[in-house]
Amino acid sequence: MAEAFNPSAKSVPSDKWGWFVALGVLMIMGGGIAFGNVLAATVASVYTVGIVMLVGGILHLGQAFRVKSWESAIYWSLSGACYTIAGIFAFFNPLLASAILTFLMAVALVVAGAFRIWTAFKLRPLAGWGWIALGGALTLLAGLVIAAGWPVNSLWLLGLFLAIDLVMQGLALIAFGVLAKG
């Protein structure tokens, strides 16, 4: 059925279904470990963000040497320095970095929720606008709840989200693998 919408989609060979199931089981096990120690999972999340920022910073600094104009070189250098410093900071103080990331997540959810509610009221004459408003209200509420518990919840919130994501992705891969078998 999916191939009818995307003719370039390749079907997964039915003999590979076991790999998806095995990966799903491993991800669920990883999620269980993360649920068992959400503080360690939070630190692992911060380290992951730190690695990405560090690599991004180094790439930005490399780009600074490739650009021709002085103004562009300054922009790329400053941008790369900020990314690099933030990445290093995540490694030296992961708990403070998790507090900052948790606060930014709360702000992002509040802003996204408010924007969705505003969008819903702009769509008000159309059927279903209330669902968009409800989704926006829940997003806004989630941001406010996270902000209300900050900074204490920054010790466990990112780890909890990582654990939930690992379990959900594991379940999705198991379902995909079992259905691909048929």
CA distances from 36 to 12, 121, 164 (A): 34, 42, 12
In this prediction, residue 81 carries a pLDDT of: 93
DSSP 124: T
Domain encompassing residue 47: 16-181
CB 103 within 8 A of CB 150: yes
The answer to whether residue 2 scores a pLDDT higher than 70 is no
What are the tens digits of pLDDT across the range 85-108?
A: 999 999 999 999 999 999 999 999
Residue type, 82: C
Judge whether 102 lies within some domain: yes
Rounded mean pLDDT, 151-175 = 93
In this prediction, residue 65 carries a pLDDT of: 86
Judge whether 115 lies within some domain: yes
Judge whether 7 lies within some domain: no
Judge whether 48 lies within some domain: yes
Judge whether 2 lies within some domain: no
In this prediction, residue 71 carries a pLDDT of: 82
CB 87 within 8 A of CB 50: yes
In this prediction, residue 12 carries a pLDDT of: 56
Q: Which residue has the tokens 């379940």?
A: 171
Judge whether 8 lies within some domain: no
What are the tens digits of pLDDT across the range 28-42?
A: 999 999 999 999 999
In this prediction, residue 24 carries a pLDDT of: 94
Planar angle of CA 160, 115, 172, nearest 5 degrees: 35
Judge whether 11 lies within some domain: no
Judge whether 32 lies within some domain: yes
Domain tally, the chain: 1
What are the tens digits of pLDDT across the range 56-71?
A: 999 999 998 888 788 8
